[in-house]
């Protein structure tokens, strides 16, 4: 008989070749093929246990063949939740049972249309889409505002996709179906000519659009493509109609509209008939979807209003019971609504001028030299218009001086250095700073419009510096215009004409004695201020309430047992349940589209049905054929199989593997440590690391996500007994993107053998993308490969043991060594213990010693770290087999007895 030492050297010298010879044996090959063909046809754990050929094959692979008879016991093992420390398998001291349970998917996560994490992600994207919508509207409006000022020919619009899209969307026209030629003819049409192109070929939307431009028939312009009023009209239309929510810009437009129109209302019916005014009031007083008829009663009937809880809204208006205005609650017409509108246009022009000019200023002297800019700044920051240019210059360039005057905010809003030049930001104000200044000016206009209705005579106006400052700024009046002169300008047309300020006089309705005519109005100044303030506070609350309602409905619709197949998800709220309250809310399908930046036009229900039944991780599949990342991400947010039924989520690591890594990591973190405070701290730190690993892996959607997170890669390597300092990102990428089936790949030629199992554990393809291809119904590809490999290893050991038990013991120890993290493991495994006692010629009587003394003795001979090194393990086994050959010369085999649980002959 060949010696154990020689046999082990032959086998270990080329283990792959040794295993290949076993795999080529007819019986082994036949069993392997049967297992591979049938394991994922198993329906459930009972079906698996009932198929003796599959079941016994797996049990032998994991060294549990002596427990094959105990099916009830093994069923409890297979159904154990390895993520639960108190589960049956986790409570067993023999780790083979956990390994066996981890190799199968009998306790995989329940099928779910969306996991909690997927649902949270989608809802987060849905909610964020509204904020993004507002931001995008602002960005596009800013772009349009700047671009339109430079337009000199109609081609400048039709050839600029952003401007073209902006103006078309503003008027509810889908840019997809409008040719450049058609738009050119619309914009160059004379809307006053009944035979013009737009009047003959366009609908009301195109006519409204054409009215906002001043192109000649040949596409040129005589002056500007748009007046300030036209430009503002387009921007207002865009901000009111394109975003699906009331953005801050839309809120400002709504407020301006309300302020300009409310003074013209003479009857409650007129107010309710104006949907924009009615909507403003409902929003301001949180009335939700209150009908117009009910709103009318709220405004005219105090008892009815109080019954509904809208007493505040009733008190904010001065309507009699018959809908007329209470004449005793008078306001004043210092400005008519037309004059208010005209002044707003002037203010807008001043704002546009400021924003276009300030970003070109690179020296404080250039700014001071432009009175239009200095007036605007003084008004925006509440500085008196009489402040000298010298003082303003010092405020802008000297922070100490600015602080002395109380104008720190003014200094901070600009980027001037002490010498008057600008900082490294390159401009006097960035776009964001200019927008902030503009907001201050807009706030002053709002203040003016809210106050002007309460001004009963010119002296009240003159006494309010904020009002006079705005007037001087908007109408480009000299900063040193005295209050007396301003009063004369406002009340004396001749004086105003002589000073060149007829436009200022005409902008107000003061009589020569300075009085303003009393006018019966639905709101006094204070009521008006309260209403607009309430709107400013509540307009976004109303939108948030709508979002919250949609989210709550989505969660209810997506809750367990409600969605079992694709068709359940695609049902509308109206048809999915008997609840009528949610019929007007967005359907889950619509919310999902919006979350990923898609529309029903982009992805109709019929198309989404097919998409959701397709594999979004298949690079050659139906989803991938769209070449649209939005669609791919949308489909990956749900878990449906090709049959349309719900399945489990594709994750980078299965829960069972995560649990295995957690156990291994904790074991290695405390490896070789004695009980005490140091070990306790290491154990606590390991638990924290495991928790962080679980959280981090939940965010991993690709190999890049994993490899760029050092904490995750370090955890995985340590859990598998590898030193993280030896593997950089580039090396790990080569390993994970290798083809496991290619014997010449980096994984199979240069990487540590442990990586074959690690790569198999992760559900990444060779491109680094998540894939379903590695996931089996009962056993994943990696686990199946390991089962078959383990079967070959067990068979090799068994066959070698038939002729020489020492070889079997050596092969067994070499296989188990990398997973030994405690000397107690050796003491608890008779085969491992036999190898050590034989290798070091330890007396058999040591097994009767106290356990702690046995551990102390083993420490003198066994270094746990050495067991993680394959070369050192191989050296140890060569010593063992040599000693075994010396100590065992008879046919009786204690090694075989230990490994088989019986006696050999």
- pLDDT for the residue numbered 146: 93
Cβ atoms within 10 A of the Cβ of 613, count?
Answer: 18
Mean pLDDT over 548-552 rounds to 94
Strands 518-520 and 330-332: antiparallel
* CB-based contacts of 581, cutoff 8 Å, min separation 6: none
**Both tokens assigned to 112:** 């779910």
Q: How confident is the model at residue 365 (pLDDT cuts 50, 70, 90)?
A: very high
Residues 723 and 700: their CA atoms lie apart, in Å, by 22
Per-residue pLDDT band for 329 (boundaries 50, 70, 90) equals: low
Q: How does pLDDT run across 8-51, given as a tens digit for each residue? A: 999 998 998 999 999 999 999 999 999 999 999 999 999 999 99
Report the greatest alpha carbon distance in the chain: 134
pLDDT at 349 > cutoff 90: no
* pLDDT for res 528: 80
3-state secondary structure 331-358: EECCCCHHHHHHHHHHHHHHHHHHHHHH
pLDDT value at residue 442 = 85
What is the Rg, in whole angstroms, of the alpha carbon atoms belonging to the chain?
Answer: 40
Output phi, psi for 597, to 5 deg. Answer: 70, 30
Q: What is the pLDDT of residue 690?
A: 94
Higher pLDDT, 532 or 193: 193
Q: Is 337 exposed, middle or buried (0-12, 13-18, 19+ CB in 10 A)?
A: middle
Q: CA 88, 90, 94, 98 torsion: positive or negative?
A: positive
Element (H, E) at 768: none
Mapping DSSP to helix (H, G, I), strand (E, B) and coil, where does residue 422 land?
strand
Distance CA 49, CA 780 (A): 18
Per-residue DSSP letters for 252-288?
Answer: HHHHHHHHHHGGG--BHHHHHH-HHHHHHHHHHTT-T
Q: What is the model's pTM?
A: 0.68
Tell me what the pLDDT averaged over the chain comes to. Answer: 90
d(CA 587, CA 574): 9
Q: What's the token pair of residue 179?
A: 């040719």
pLDDT at res. 261: 87
Cα(518)–Cα(474) distance, integer angstroms: 26
Of the candidates 54, 4, 51, the residue with the CA atom closest to the CA atom of residue 33: 54
Question: From the CB of residue 726, how many other CB atoms can be counted at a distance below 10 Å?
Answer: 9
Percent of the chain with pLDDT over 90: 68
Place of tokens 């090959």: 29
pLDDT of 899 above 60? no
pLDDT digits (tens, 9 = 90+) for 64-83: 999 999 999 999 999 998 88
Distances (CA, A) of 725 to 544, 669, 714, 718, 761: 49, 16, 8, 10, 21
Would you say 54 and 64 are in contact if contact means Cβ atoms under 8 Å apart? no
What's the number of CA atoms in the CB half-sphere (13 Å) around residue 336? 6
The 3-class secondary structure across 201-246, one letter per residue, is HCCHHHHHHHCCCCECCCCEECCCCCCHHHHHHHHHHHHHHCCCCC
pLDDT (0 to 100) of residue 519: 64
**Angle between helices 248-261 and 337-358 in degrees, nearest 10:** 150
Long-range contacts of 669-677 (CB under 8 A, 24+ apart): 669/718, 670/821, 671/821, 671/822, 671/864, 671/865, 672/822, 672/864, 672/865
Q: What confidence tier does 902 reach under pLDDT thresholds 50, 70, 90?
A: very low
In this prediction, residues 640-662 reach a mean pLDDT of 91
Q: For 540-569, what is the mean pLDDT?
A: 91
Three-state secondary-structure class, residue 520:
strand
All residues at 6 or more sequence positions from 144 whose CB lies less than 8 Å from its CB, including other chains: 162, 163, 166, 167, 234, 235, 238
Tell me if residue 545 falls in helix, strand or coil: helix
pLDDT value of position 844: 79
Give the phi and the psi of residue 723 in degrees, each rounded to 5: -90, 115
Whether 904 shows a pLDDT value over 50: the answer reads no
Residue 327 has pLDDT above 80, yes or no: no
Rounded CA separation 690/682 (Å)? 12
Q: How far apart are CA 679 and CA 13, in angstroms?
A: 39
Residue 888: how many other CB atoms lie within 10 Å: 17
Burial class (CB in 10 A: 0-12, 13-18, 19+), 181: exposed
Lowest mean per-residue pLDDT among 32-46, 338-352, 516-530: 516-530
Provide the pLDDT for residue 808.
Answer: 95
343 pLDDT band (50/70/90 cuts)?
confident
How far apart CA 329 and CA 878 sit, in angstroms, is 107
| Mean of pLDDT values over 322-346 | 78
pLDDT digits (tens, 9 = 90+) for 173-218: 999 889 999 999 999 999 999 999 999 999 999 999 999 999 999 9
The pLDDT value given to residue 905:
37
Burial 30-52 (b: 16+ CB within 10 A, else e): ebbeebeeebeebeebeebbebe
**Half-sphere exposure of residue 392: CA atoms within 13 angstroms, side-chain side:** 25
The region, left, alpha or beta by phi > 0 then psi within -120 to 50, assigned to residue 301 is beta
Mean of the pLDDT values across residues 408-433? 88
Q: What's the confidence (pLDDT) of residue 522?
A: 84
In this prediction, residues 863-868 reach a mean pLDDT of 92
CA 149, 150, 154, 160 dihedral sign is negative
Judged by phi (left if over 0) then psi (alpha if -120 to 50, else beta), residue 721 lies in: left
CA distance 513 to 499: 20
Lowest pLDDT segment from 272-281, 488-497, 527-536, 833-842: 527-536
Residue 174 backbone zone (phi > 0: left; psi -120 to 50: alpha; other: beta): beta
pLDDT on residue 890: 47
Nearest-5° Cα angle at 694, 690 to 698: 165
Q: Is 642 helix (H, G, I), strand (E, B) or coil?
A: coil
Block residue for tokens 């705005």 = 470
| Contact in structure between 433 and 381 (CB atoms under 8 Å) | no
- 731-752 pLDDT, tens digit per residue, is 999 999 999 989 999 999 999 9
């Amino acid at each position: 008989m060949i010696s154990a030492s020689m046999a082990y050297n032959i086998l270990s010298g080329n283990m792959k070749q040794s295993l290949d010879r076993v795999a080529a044996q007819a019986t082994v090959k036949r069993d392997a093929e049967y297992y591979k063909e049938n394991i994922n046809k198993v329906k459930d754990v009972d079906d698996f246990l009932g198929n003796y050929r599959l079941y016994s094959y797996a049990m032998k692979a994991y060294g549990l063949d002596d427990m094959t008879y105990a099916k009830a016991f093994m069923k409890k093992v297979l159904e154990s939740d390895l993520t639960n420390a108190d589960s049956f398998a986790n409570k067993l001291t023999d780790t083979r049972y956990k390994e066996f349970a981890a190799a199968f998917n009998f306790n995989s996560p329940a099928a779910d249309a969306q996991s909690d994490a997927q649902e949270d992600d989608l809802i987060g994207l849905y909610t964020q889409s509204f904020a993004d919508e507002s931001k995008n509207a602002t960005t596009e409006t800013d772009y349009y505002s700047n671009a339109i000022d430079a337009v000199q020919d109609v081609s400048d619009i039709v050839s600029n996709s952003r401007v073209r899209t902006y103006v078309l969307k503003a008027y509810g026209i889908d840019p997809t179906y409008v040719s450049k030629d058609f738009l050119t003819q619309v914009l160059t049409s004379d809307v006053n000519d009944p035979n013009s192109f737009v009047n003959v070929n366009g609908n009301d939307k195109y006519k409204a659009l054409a009215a906002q431009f001043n192109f000649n028939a040949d596409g040129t312009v005589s002056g500007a493509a748009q007046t300030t009023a036209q430009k503002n009209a387009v921007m207002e239309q865009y901000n009111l109609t394109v975003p699906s929510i009331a953005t801050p810009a839309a809120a400002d437009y709504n407020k301006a509209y309300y302020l300009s129109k409310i003074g013209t209302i003479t009857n409650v019916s007129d107010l309710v008939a104006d949907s924009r005014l009615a909507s403003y009031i409902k929003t301001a007083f949180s009335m939700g979807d209150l009908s117009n008829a009910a709103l009318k009663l709220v405004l005219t009937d105090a008892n009815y209003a109080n019954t509904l809880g809208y007493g505040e809204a009733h008190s904010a208006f001065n309507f009699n019971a018959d809908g007329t205005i209470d004449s005793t609650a008078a306001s004043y017409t210092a400005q008519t609504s037309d004059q208010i509108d005209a002044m707003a246009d002037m203010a807008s022009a001043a704002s546009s001028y400021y924003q276009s000019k300030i970003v070109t200023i690179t020296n404080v002297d250039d700014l001071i030299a432009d009175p239009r800019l200095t007036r605007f700044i003084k008004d925006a920051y509440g500085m008196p218009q009489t402040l000298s240019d010298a003082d303003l210059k010092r405020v802008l360039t000297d922070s100490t001086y600015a602080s002395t005057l109380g104008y720190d905010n003014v200094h901070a809003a600009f980027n001037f250095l002490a010498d008057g030049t600008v900082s490294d930001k390159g401009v006097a104000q960035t776009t964001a700073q200019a927008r902030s200044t503009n907001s201050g000016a807009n706030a002053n206009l709002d203040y003016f419009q809210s106050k002007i209705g309460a001004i009963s005579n010119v002296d009240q106006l003159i006494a309010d510096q904020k009002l006079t400052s705005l007037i001087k700024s908007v109408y480009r009046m000299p900063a040193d215009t005295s209050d007396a002169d301003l009063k004369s300008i406002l009340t004396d047309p001749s004086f105003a004409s002589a000073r060149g300020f007829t436009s200022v006089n005409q902008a107000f309705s003061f009589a020569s004695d300075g009085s303003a005519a009393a006018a019966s109005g639905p709101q006094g100044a204070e009521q008006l201020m309260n209403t607009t303030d309430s709107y400013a506070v509540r307009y976004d609350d109303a939108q948030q309430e709508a979002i919250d309602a949609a989210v709550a409905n989505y969660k209810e619709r997506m809750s367990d047992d409600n969605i079992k197949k694709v068709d359940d998800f695609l049902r509308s709220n109206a048809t999915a349940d008997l609840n009528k309250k949610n019929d007007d809310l967005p359907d889950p399908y619509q919310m999902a589209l919006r979350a990923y930046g898609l529309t029903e036009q982009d992805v109709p229900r019929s198309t989404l049905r097919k998409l959701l039944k397709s594999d979004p991780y298949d690079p050659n599949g139906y989803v991938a054929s769209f070449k649209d990342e939005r669609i791919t991400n949308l489909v990956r947010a749900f878990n449906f199989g090709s049959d349309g039924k719900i399945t489990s989520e594709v994750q980078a690591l299965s829960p069972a593997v995560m649990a295995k890594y957690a156990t291994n990591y904790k074991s290695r973190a405390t490896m070789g440590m004695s009980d005490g405070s140091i070990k306790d701290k290491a154990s606590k730190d390991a638990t924290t690391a495991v928790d962080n690993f679980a959280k981090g892996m939940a965010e991993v959607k690709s190999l890049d996500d994993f490899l760029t997170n050092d904490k995750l890669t370090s955890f995985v390597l340590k859990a598998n007994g590898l030193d993280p300092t030896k593997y950089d990102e580039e090396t790990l990428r080569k390993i994970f993107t290798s083809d496991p089936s290619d014997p010449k790949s980096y994984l199979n030629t240069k990487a540590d053998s442990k990586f074959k199992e690690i790569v198999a554990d992760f559900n990444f393809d060779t491109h680094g993308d998540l894939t379903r291809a590695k996931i089996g119904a009962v056993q994943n590809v990696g686990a199946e490969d390991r089962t078959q490999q383990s079967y070959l290893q067990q068979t090799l050991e068994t066959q070698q043991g038939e002729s020489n038990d020492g070889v079997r013991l050596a092969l067994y120890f070499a296989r188990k060594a990398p997973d030994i993290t405690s000397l107690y493991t050796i003491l608890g495994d008779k085969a491992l213990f036999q190898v050590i006692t034989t290798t070091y010629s330890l007396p058999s009587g040591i097994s009767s010693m106290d356990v702690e003394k046995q551990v102390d003795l083993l420490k003198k001979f066994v270094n746990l770290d050495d067991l993680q090194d394959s070369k050192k393990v191989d050296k140890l086994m060569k010593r063992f087999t040599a000693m075994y050959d010396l100590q065992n010369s008879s046919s009786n085999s204690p090694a075989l007895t230990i490994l088989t649980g019986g006696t050999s002959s």
